[in-house]
Amino acid sequence: MEKKMKQFFIDLVEAPSPSGFEQPAQEVYRNFIGKYADEVKTDVHGNVIALKKGTSDLRLMLVGHADEIGLMVNYIDDNGFVRFVPIGGVDVALLPGTRVNIYHNGQLVRGVIGRKAIHLLQPEERKVAPKLEDLWIDIGASNREAAEKRVGIGDAITFSPGLEELEGGVITSKATDNKAGVYVVAAVMKELAKEEIACNLYSVAAVQEEVGLRGAKTSAFGIDPHVGIAIDVTHATDFPGMNKNVLGDIRLGFGPVIAVGCNINPKVFELLKKAGDKAKVKYQIEAAPRGTGTDANALQVNRAGVATGLISIPNRYMHTQNEVIHLEDLAAAAKLLAEFARQIDNTTDFIPKV
């Protein structure tokens, strides 16, 4: 991945953006995409929608969600400890002993989620994961008044690890779910910037996926696309304890994952594979027998229905503070999707038939 693009991805993952608080990441996206799109607008929900105009009236929407899981301040106790509730699917067992960032009126407050030392835990306490309501964030304040000067109810909280490269393109960071998708929709726009294409390409950084696919719903209604593709992360199964009989064989560095199943239009599925072959990009196939938990689900049932696809980036340790992905999978996904965008026009038939 070229240096400038890597920096863009670093800026995305490190910008705080728990669901409902996405604008710092959206600002990174806006600043990048403005150079490559004909129009960029932010809607009232907070979705950022970039448009590259095409030569036909076909509308293609690519969507990656900009929100990440996180926490939110809901109570400050008399001793100045900050109590919190989750934003999205947070694994409580992983919280004790981690550092967090609290964002208060644009100011960063550092904190640590405390835990009684192992020496002091009762034998039965050692065996069970703590409950969320028993955890607290220590910001170093001596009492409630001191804490209230620095944090307030409703402040958003993120995990703090930034991006580090482990080896040759394999990186670890918080929030690759789903800054990976935002990166890809932006990279497709960049790749096509100097070309004329038939479809009107909408690259959307959507809000609030982690709390119910909410930004994809509003942005898809507004755009009214004929074809929609969500770009998200999926569980890699190439690490200890993953059952390939149940979860299939998905590996880091083996390319983007194309989903197939009821959430996916069969013509879109075939065209995505063809685009991958044409672009000489390795890809993997994932069986998705139900509606997926991704923005592809919201896209497909928009209005009278959208021809929907789903491209996923293999991800280890999803929703932990230190997810792991391969940067080359991002670059390959962008290449594949740029080729897909080149291939379709208003004569392409997406109606499923035998």
Residues near Zn ion (CB under 5 A) are 177
Considering beta carbons, is residue 18 or 255 the nearer one to Zn ion?
A: 18
Considering beta carbons, is residue 25 or 58 the nearer one to Zn ion?
A: 25
Q: Is 209 in the active site?
A: yes
Considering beta carbons, is residue 11 or 177 the nearer one to Zn ion?
A: 177
For residue 197, which phi and psi values (nearest 5 degrees)?
Answer: -125, 160
Considering beta carbons, is residue 200 or 208 the nearer one to Zn ion?
A: 208
Residue among 209, 210, 323, 328 flagged as catalytic: 209
Which residues have CB under 8 Å from 26's CB, separation 6+?
17, 42, 46, 48, 66, 205, 207
- Nearest C-alpha neighbor of 215 from the set 338, 42, 70: 42
Nearest distance in Å: CB 87, Zn ion: 11
For residue 172, which phi and psi values (nearest 5 degrees)?
Answer: -125, 145
Nearest distance in Å: CB 313, Zn ion: 12
Nearest distance in Å: CB 300, Zn ion: 18
Residue that is written with structure tokens 């969320």 in the block: 132
Secondary structure element (H or E) that encloses residue 81, with its range: none
Which residues have CB under 8 Å from 227's CB, separation 6+?
58, 59, 60, 61, 199, 265, 268, 306, 307, 308, 309, 344, 350
The answer to whether the beta carbons of residues 317 and 42 sit under 8 Å apart is no
Considering beta carbons, is residue 82 or 233 the nearer one to Zn ion?
A: 233
Nearest distance in Å: CB 65, Zn ion: 8
Secondary structure element (H or E) that encloses residue 21, with its range: none
The answer to whether the beta carbons of residues 227 and 61 sit under 8 Å apart is yes
Nearest distance in Å: CB 263, Zn ion: 16
Nearest distance in Å: CB 160, Zn ion: 18
The answer to whether the beta carbons of residues 65 and 36 sit under 8 Å apart is no
Nearest distance in Å: CB 69, Zn ion: 6
Query: How would DSSP label each residue in 260-276?
Result: ESTTS-HHHHHHHHHHH
CA distance 314 to 237: 8
Considering beta carbons, is residue 161 or 222 the nearer one to Zn ion?
A: 161
Q: Enumerate the β-bridge partners of residue 202.
A: 51, 61
Considering beta carbons, is residue 181 or 222 the nearer one to Zn ion?
A: 181
- Start-to-end Cα distance in the chain: 40
CA distance 62 to 184: 9
- Residue with smallest beta-carbon separation from Zn ion: 177
Catalytic sites, residue numbers: 209
